[in-house]
Structure 1
Amino acid sequence: MQIRSTPIIKPDKGWQIWWQLMRPHTLTAAFVPVMLGTALALPLTTINASLFAAMLIASLLIQAATNMFNEYYDYKRGLDHEESVGIGGAIVRNGVKPHVVLNLGFTFFAIALLLGLYITLNTSWWIAAIGLISMAAGYLYTGGPIPIAYTPFGELTAGFFMGVVIILISFFIQTGFINYTSVYISIPISILIATILLSNNIRDLDGDKENGRKTLAILLGRNKAIVLLAVMFSVSYIWILALIIFMKASPLLLLTFLSIPKAIKAVRGFIGQTLPIQMLPAMKATAQTNTFFGLLLSIGLIIAYFL
């Protein structure tokens, strides 16, 4: 595949190409955990706005950089082409040079490192170690000799680092400790972040299989992967009920149930579909489920604090 010698970027649409490269629909998976971890800390301490802002920006930059590494390495491995559905498209459709995408990803990582240093100097050096491991996971998700995204562990990795880790760091930098509540609350968000990756792999199942990937969706098959998606949604909502019943969490957490229609739309949108373009609405609904669930959960926690 030839790379155009000059980027095809119309002046009036240039910013849209760079914005698209960041894959903004995925950025809520970084925003929601920071918001939730901070909301959890609200009853326990005075929120440090500068630490919150640094954590939020760093998380968004790492997510955007991971998306750029994804685009670069999928292109280098021949997985992306002009007819590919659902990718950023800066390289294969908009003529942006591959090295520009890669370097921009590393630039975002560098800025995130500086923000991480600021957070570390004001909290604990453990944050630096955890942050570096998280960034390494972001790069190795599609980079390295055996990309995590090409294995059955993509969903688990994304859910853990973008859910559990980000929520607990966001909570810790405000409070200076981790408690059971913060861990328990992180679980359903981690599951929903994993559903975003699973929905992506359901859509790309046929193409990924042809290119030798061994994703969870490929190992299970399309129908069982859709069933798993439905189970993961269900567990997230059941988890909230369990927190209210057994952990005496505020009933206001039931606000998360307002996102159930999006989860139902996501599952139904995959059933019977085989073409990637047909599954785009289902993928959008999956990402929206995570966004709405997380925001409603945060709102529930904040309202409970003020009542």
Structure 2
Amino acid sequence: MRDAASPTPSQPFVWRAWLKTSRPFTLTATVAPVFVGTALAAYQGTFHIWIFLATFLSCLFLQIGTNYFNEYFDYRYGLDHAGSLGASTVIFKKEMTPGQVLGGAIGCFIIAALLGIILMFWVGPEIILFGVAGILIAYFYSARPFKFSNRGLGDVMVFLAMGLLMTWGSYYVHIHHWSWSAIAASIPIGFLEVAILNMNNTRDYEDDLAVNKKTLPVRFGVLFGQRFHASLLLGSYIAVTLFVVLGLLPWLALLVWITFPLAFTNLRAVLHATRRQAYMVGIKKTSKLLLIFGLVFALSLLLAILF
């Protein structure tokens, strides 16, 4: 029986509502780590197309499911409203019911889990650890009792899940051993993943403060959010350079510096931002930067095979 307080759809349910709630512009957060981890494995001599596709789709559905869960729990816990800039507001606009959003999240997690089981048979039982860790972080990012995003731990969780686990995991399914190079490759990707979240949190400072959602900008202020963003963007390039010097990454990885003008324009705009709409643009520009940075990074690793 539907909760009387729950909105009912006012129009036929269409695919556009599903797409909107998946937050497609954020899905670069899956493309970059999977491509970089896979390219590093190829650089070291191993690549399996079916393992790559299963890994990519599993990670993609995991992220989409996370976005659905975030939409659902922020509505359920009263953290979003009809005017929230951060929400897709499909529930408030009656384009989807809470049950549909929750069902979409569960469905995506089931697909991700099934693909993970296939990988487990191809790779080995230990791969289930990556999947379980990813699912737990993704679910409890928004859900009780942990609600990582509400406790200022969202940045750490995103770095671990989208940076470390996805990049190293995408490497591990091809080459089944610990690799400091894979860890090194995950760090700059993780910085840019966190930068997207930080832009989101900086934009939502006023809304989050009103509901006592203790993100880092709420704890330390908008100026901190701006400077943290600059540190994350600069840190991604510095990290690649450092790991090249240490011999953990091939010298061609320095090609990521050709994307630096995008980063510089991005951080300059954020440091001078005075309106929330500027942070909305910043989120999309950071997502685009992550995609281009990740693709150039992956391509540089593949080119290193020839040298």
Q: Distance in 2 between matches of 1:256 and 1:43?
A: 16
Where in structure 2 are the equivalents of 1:210-249 lying within 5 Å? 210-247=210-247, 249=249
State the 1:86 CA deviation.
Answer: 3.5
Where in structure 2 are the equivalents of 1:246-285 lying within 5 Å? 246-247=246-247, 249-285=249-285
Show the counterpart of 1:137: 137
Task: Call closer, same or farther: CA 1:241–1:278 in 2, change over 3 Å.
Answer: closer
Q: Scaled by the length of structure 1, what TM-score is found?
A: 0.93
Task: Call closer, same or farther: CA 1:284–1:305 in 2, change over 3 Å.
Answer: same
Q: Distance in 2 between matches of 1:48 and 1:146?
A: 37
Show the counterpart of 2:152: 152
State the 1:298 CA deviation.
Answer: 0.3
Equivalent position amino acid for 1:276 in 2: R
Where in structure 2 are the equivalents of 1:11-50 lying within 5 Å? 14-50=14-50
Q: Distance in 2 between matches of 1:289 and 1:90?
A: 27
Question: Any conservation in 2 of the 1:17–1:94 contact (CA below 8 Å)?
Answer: no
Q: Deviations over 1:105-160 (max 9, x none)?
A: 10111111111001011112111122112101100000113310111211111011
Deviates more, 1:59-68 or 1:166-175: 166-175
Q: Deviations over 1:206-228 (max 9, x none)?
A: 11011011111111211122111
Coordinate RMSD, CA, aligned: 1.8
Deviates more, 1:83-92 or 1:293-302: 83-92
Equivalent position amino acid for 2:161 in 1: F
Q: Deviations over 1:152-199 (max 9, x none)?
A: 211111011111111111111111112111111111111111111111
Question: Any conservation in 2 of the 1:262–1:288 contact (CA below 8 Å)?
Answer: no
Deviates more, 1:205-214 or 1:269-278: 269-278
Q: Scaled by the length of structure 2, what TM-score is found?
A: 0.93
Show the counterpart of 2:181: 181
Q: Percent identity?
A: 29
Q: Secondary structure at the match of 1:58?
A: helix
Q: Distance in 1 between matches of 2:198 and 2:40?
A: 27
Equivalent position amino acid for 2:212 in 1: G
Equivalent position amino acid for 2:191 in 1: I
Question: Any conservation in 2 of the 1:33–1:166 contact (CA below 8 Å)?
Answer: yes
State the 1:280 CA deviation.
Answer: 1.1
Equivalent position amino acid for 1:220 in 2: F
State the 1:90 CA deviation.
Answer: 1.9
Q: Distance in 2 between matches of 1:209 and 1:248?
A: 42
Equivalent position amino acid for 2:131 in 1: G
Q: Distance in 2 between matches of 1:274 and 1:142?
A: 28
Show the counterpart of 1:123: 123
Deviates more, 1:78-87 or 1:146-155: 78-87
Question: Any conservation in 2 of the 1:120–1:128 contact (CA below 8 Å)?
Answer: yes
Q: Which has the higher contact order (CA 8 A, sep 6+)?
A: 2
Task: Call closer, same or farther: CA 1:83–1:275 in 2, change over 3 Å.
Answer: farther
Q: Distance in 2 between matches of 1:49 and 1:272?
A: 44
Q: Distance in 2 between matches of 1:248 and 1:64?
A: 32
Q: Secondary structure at the match of 1:83?
A: coil
Question: Any conservation in 2 of the 1:18–1:90 contact (CA below 8 Å)?
Answer: no
State the 1:249 CA deviation.
Answer: 3.6
Q: Distance in 1 between matches of 2:87 and 2:210?
A: 18
Equivalent position amino acid for 1:93 in 2: K
Question: Any conservation in 2 of the 1:265–1:285 contact (CA below 8 Å)?
Answer: no
Show the counterpart of 1:207: 207
Question: Any conservation in 2 of the 1:192–1:290 contact (CA below 8 Å)?
Answer: yes
Q: Distance in 2 between matches of 1:15 and 1:265?
A: 35
**Structure 1: where are the runs of 5+ without partners?**
none
State the 1:22 CA deviation.
Answer: 0.7
State the 1:87 CA deviation.
Answer: 2.3
State the 1:94 CA deviation.
Answer: 4.6
Show the counterpart of 1:303: 303
Q: Distance in 1 between matches of 2:171 and 2:265?
A: 32
Show the counterpart of 1:64: 64
State the 1:2 CA deviation.
Answer: 5.3
State the 1:290 CA deviation.
Answer: 1.4
State the 1:260 CA deviation.
Answer: 1.8
Task: Call closer, same or farther: CA 1:275–1:79 in 2, change over 3 Å.
Answer: farther
For this pair of structures, how many residues does the alignment match?
Answer: 304
Misfit runs of 4+, over 4 Å: none
